[in-house]
Amino acid sequence: MHPSARRLALSVACAALALPAAAAAHERGATSRSAGTSATAPAAPATTVRVLGTDGPLRTALRSTRAVRRSCVTRPLTGAGVAQHRWIAPADGEAALRLRAARGDWDLAVFESTSGKLVGSSAAFGADEVVTLTLREGASLLVQACRRTAAAPAAASLTTTFTRLDLSGLPRTAPRLSLVDVPLEGRGALARLEATGVDVTHDIDADSAKVLVADDHDRDALRAAGFTLRTVIADVIAASRRDAARGAATLRQAPASALPTGRTGYRVYEDYQAELKQIVEQHPAIARPVRLRGRTFQGRELGVVEIAGNVARRDDGRPTFILNGLHHAREWPAAESIMEFAHDLVRGYGKDPRITKLLDEVRVVVMPITNADGFIVSRASPDPDPDEELGVGTVYSLATGVIVLGGSLSYKRKNCNPGFAVPSFPCELAIGTDPNRNYASSWGGPGASSNPNDQTYRGTGPFSEPETQAVRELTSTVNPTSFLTIHNVAALILRPPGLKADGFAPDEEALKALGQRMADATGYTNQYGFELYDTSGTTDDWTYATTGGFGYTIELGPEDGLFHGNYQRHVIDQYVGTGERAGKGIREAYLLAAEAARNPAYTSRVAGRAPAGRTLRLTKTFDTLTSDVCAIADPLPVSLPLQLGEGADPTACIGATGVRRSPEKLEFTTVVPASGRFEWWVNPSTRPFELKAGRREEYTLTCENGGKVEQSQPLFVARGETARVELPCGGTLPAEGGAASAGATRVRIGRLQSTLRTLNARRRGLVSIGVRGGPVRSVRLALLRATGSRVLGEVRVARLSRTTRVAVRLRRGVRLRPGSYRLRLTARLPKGSPVTVTRGVRLTTPRR
């Protein structure tokens, strides 16, 4: 997650790629300081890329009179549900194709006209699809649009924009990527290493660090800074190929792996989109898409799915757990583990008691890929042999490793923002921003770079990148009480804060305890975020500081410096666990984090009464503070600390420009259930570091009827506490206790007349239901736990007109334990309107 690509010469960064003025100023500043200093790092080889002009946008209407629900990407199709268009590239350049319709679901696939080979696709949940392609002049494409749902209009609009590029200056050979071990000696050695601009992996200990070097320029930079290096893997790409081949050979001997899906190899982007749709379409009762307004830099919709028992229900107040992955394009195992967990949940619901209970009590939101643009490039990069010449007919992505702005070939890290305005530009050539340094909390401080050429480039401001804006949109509206963001490869459970200067989190004891449980399941190390290295502007620091929900970064293992190595070792073994942790692994860690979303000690609750059907809304607005923003932030050019003097701190903040304020708004809702009694799991109203500073914050709670605010009041609730409220909200509060009335009809639940021992032995318990003033129909009396929606036992009666004793029968396999339960009665009143009555039940073991 950390690491920096080698620094390019000023002529490359500014003249060739037209970086913003701030970037040029940064580089000019570094150059002037190092003038006359013999220790200046060697200049990188220059590469020139020129934008020649833009064609378009060209708009074409694609029509299909029928809808067919099938995959659009398998091959060129014929018949119903398909519309096609042929297009030829007018020159070398970058094509951006966008398919849009007003509603429903259209998908987009692009094939080579002659071979029928798929070269790009987009299959989001709606009808807003994007494909970007780097092409040679004369490349012939078959553009295929598929109308998947009848709700979609018969016509979709295809917009094609083409940017002409002169890439004649690109080299003809790829770099040789090597993994080296660099001893860390003396004060600030790790910071000095990062300051050289090389790609430092997460495999770091007190004595040494593993580093990816792309060529002699990187080696010279290390030596110029006084470091020695020992080659661990001479050719990472070749080693990865051999490792993958060995893993594939082993997996071929078994029909399927131990993963929920049995998968044996890394997914491509098309797989993720298809599987998320499959989950929603095959499990509509427990899975639904979460549609965000935010898009990636290139305009892609992010794939997000919510999984929960009775997922469409809006009135249960359940807490939310978010599982987020792949901020960094090269970290393929992160997305793999999340996708497998999603399959695990939907397949286990109703079969696995633990998963069933979890989804009945918690909403799980999975977001496997955050940096979709970068992942598409990383996953599609073929990583050619360094000795192989890249011929004239080769796709440009093969040649971009020599630039290393956003990462080398499949080792690309950052997003696809090129740093200047152009309708479309090859992601492989884009400088990019590190999304996991772009969040507002402590943005601009140590642990992120102000240099656009660096792999930890923080962006032009907090939330400058559309990908992080989308994560903010999701997080600010579902209010997760538990949050994990997944990376690799360091085998770590990292808890806030990421900056050592911020001190301990106010919830340190609880954060550490939950982190240790996840570490025990995985064998990973449980530590503060800053113990790996200082970071600022990261996902988990922002979610924790802003929402108060417990947030962690998990760095998947193994610690081998290969961000997408052997599938067995990097994905299967990590997910299911090995050795003494077999059957646990990261799957168990994900379950623990999801269950923590409903831990009363970690969360807060709002409970009380209000008229059924009213909408309750909690809002809070505030500013998140950045760091004292460093005009020049680490890693600094290696020559600068040397120029400043012996022992100077290369992570020092040069030219602090003051703290910035990032406006934030939290807003989330629930609906009051038919009983009129609600319990809503939320985060504390005071943000953690505000609490640490001795300040108090409140939500604004509103109660709405048909969009009209009937009642509004401030609400304070602390972690581990329940705020109780009574909200007439322009109506009448439901009656207290286990009774309800409407007109002349009154319904009540009597006490449970059986002991815990009798219930478990006889499998039934007696209860009186009182009815006065008229008959009620379709009566259902259910026994449930005090929280949750799982029915443990029930009885149904067609009609009741007087007080009657009924027998609630326990469901098969249910065994009650001492604790709190509730009886819930639903029925239809004489005029057909529904009524719900609840009564608390306490079951205890009698004393002997």
Task: Reduce the DSSP state of residue 85 to 3 states and report it.
Answer: strand
Alpha-carbon span 70 to 81, nearest angstrom: 9
What pLDDT is attached to residue 173?
63
What pLDDT is attached to residue 13?
27
Domains of the chain: 50-166 (2.60.120.380), 170-381+396-451+462-602+615-671 (3.40.630.10), 739-843 (2.60.40.10)
Alpha-carbon span 383 to 398, nearest angstrom: 7
What amino acid occupies position 387? D
Q: Which of 465, 446, 289, 304 is nearest to 374 (CA)?
A: 465
- Quick one: CA dihedral 364, 370, 373, 377, positive or negative? negative
What pLDDT is attached to residue 190?
78
Alpha-carbon span 447 to 595, nearest angstrom: 32
Percent helix, strand and coil across the chain, each to the nearest 5: 25, 30, 45
Q: Residue 50 has which token pair?
A: 């020129």
What pLDDT is attached to residue 736?
62
Q: Residue 530 has which token pair?
A: 């800053």
Q: Which of 555, 559, 595, 710 is catalytic?
A: 555
Alpha-carbon span 836 to 741, nearest angstrom: 10
What pLDDT is attached to residue 586?
99
Question: Which stretches in the chain have pLDDT values below 50?
Answer: 1-46, 384-407, 635-646
Q: Residue 735 has which token pair?
A: 């009656």
- Quick one: CA dihedral 572, 573, 574, 575, positive or negative? positive
What pLDDT is attached to residue 267?
96
State yes or no: is 559 an active-site residue. Answer: no
What amino acid occupies position 100? R
What pLDDT is attached to residue 53?
93
What amino acid occupies position 88? I
- Sheet bearing 745-752, strands edge to edge: 739-742, 745-752, 764-772, 804-810, 791-800, 776-785, 819-828, 834-843
Ramachandran sector of residue 459 (left: φ over 0; alpha: ψ -120 to 50; beta: rest): left
Whole-number Cα distances in Å, 154 to 83, 130, 186, 245, 287 = 10, 19, 68, 46, 27
Tell me if the pTM is above 0.75: yes
Beta-strand pair 363-367/320-325: parallel
